[in-house]
Amino acid sequence: MLQQQHVWHCTKTLSVCPWHASPSRSPGIRPSVGSSHFLEVEKFGQVKETRFGRQEWQNRKNRVCAVVVASGTLTENSYSEEKRTRKPVYFVDIHALCYEGSKVRPSAAMEWMRLLFAQVTQGNPVIAVMDGERGNEYRRALMPSYKSKRNRYRPLSARTQNPSGPQGDLREALPLIHGFLSLCHVPVVKLEMAEADDVVATLVQQAVNRGFRAVVASPDMDFRKLLSPDVCMLLPLPEFGRWSFYSLEHYVAQNQISPELELGLRCLLGDSSDSIPGLPELATGFGRKTALKLIKKHGSLEDLLNAVAKRTVGKPYVQEALTLHAPTLWRNLQVLSLRRDLEIILKDEWCQPRKSCNDTLAFQLLEEQLQRLHRSHKSAIFTHR
């Protein structure tokens, strides 16, 4: 028992954000009873095993608190008893859960939802969010190359006569998942002209304004921009078959900056997965170290670019790169910024405790439907051969 208390003490020391209710649900960390042995979430959701003594955990806590307080993100009262008891609302990014890496696997969403209901939400409100069929059009109008490496999502009515293949499988599976969520008493929010990221950002802001704590369940690390004392992420860890909380403190400990600077940093560095160009590929010698130094100094991309227009902000190659590619960076800012002004209102009924009476039936039906869908696509592929 003394060993268990010691491990729990270490977990609480690093994770000052009280998102968890028990040692087994510690945010981003899982202790092994009997030793200071933890699984710690690193950048981009990667996981490493770490062994720390008591003093090292205390040192890490002190570094985290120093950076957070210096950034102005938190105050001494950030973790008051009032915030500890604030009701959480879970926002689930359904489309992202239908993938294993880059491979489409709709049944993965069902497996993650099963774990979510059984181990995490404990009857608290859950709101599912899906991408709209034309959700990418807003950003593609600003940047035609946006997500050009990905298959465009199209509704079933727009499909070709040959729906075989992973994307066809996903397009047919999403309506089944929608029905499953409704049977589980989970409201599904979907706007035709909006991506799930923007819908989540809009609803999270409304939830926080109404006194809730918001938890974003998604493998998409773009949501790090939303992290705050009232907002955390819930990451699926396939390697361990579990969800893991990822809080503001974890972000600060890993990056030594506050999430407010994440947007400007991504605009400078670009995002190859979304086909967004960055200065490292446009200007020789411009890397992450330089970008981080500039963002830390100026606070935001807007302030940095405004300063470049008036004076010299760095070495000649830095000044030249920022001046020459300023239009690209302004466009990156428009594309990468999450929209929080969508025409959607967080309804009171969505924030009520979730009823779990239909869960067993819902999971059974969805599993059968996805199996039939998978068999039909395998048969279609065999026939076309």
Give per-residue pLDDT as tens, 339-357. Answer: 999 999 999 999 999 999 9
- Give domain limits for the chain: 2-71, 81-255+344-384, 259-336
Tokens representing 284?
Answer: 């020789």
Compute the Cα dihedral for 313, 314, 318, 319 and give only its sign: positive
Residue 196 one-letter amino acid? A
Give pLDDT < 50 ranges for the chain.
1-52, 54, 57, 61, 64-80, 152-164, 166, 382, 384
Q: Alpha helix locations (H) across 27-102?
A: 54-71, 81-84, 94-97
Main-chain dihedrals φ then ψ at residue 231, nearest 5 degrees? -135, 130
Question: Residue 278: what pLDDT?
Answer: 93
- Tell me which CATH code domain 81-255+344-384 carries: 3.40.50.1010
At 133 the pLDDT is: 87
The DSSP annotation for 328-347 comes to HHHHHHHHHSPP---S----
* 306 DSSP 8-state letter: H
d(CA 164, CA 104): 13
pLDDT in tens, 90-116: 999 999 999 988 888 999 999 999 999
Neighbours of 356 (CB within 10 A): 15
The letter for the amino acid at 332 is: N
Please give the pLDDT value at position 297: 93
- Provide the CATH number for the domain formed by 259-336 in this structure: 1.10.150.20
pLDDT at site 346? 97
Count other Cβ atoms within 10 Å, centred on residue 16: 17
Listing from the earlier edge strand, what are the strands of the sheet with 88-93? 188-190, 126-130, 88-93, 213-217, 231-237, 242-246
Interatomic CA distance for residues 287 and 340, integer angstroms: 30
* Amino acid 267: pLDDT: 94
The DSSP H or E segment spanning 251 is: helix 248-255
Residues 314-342 as b/e (b if ≥16 CB within 10 A, e otherwise) read beeebeebbeebeebbebbbebbebeeeb
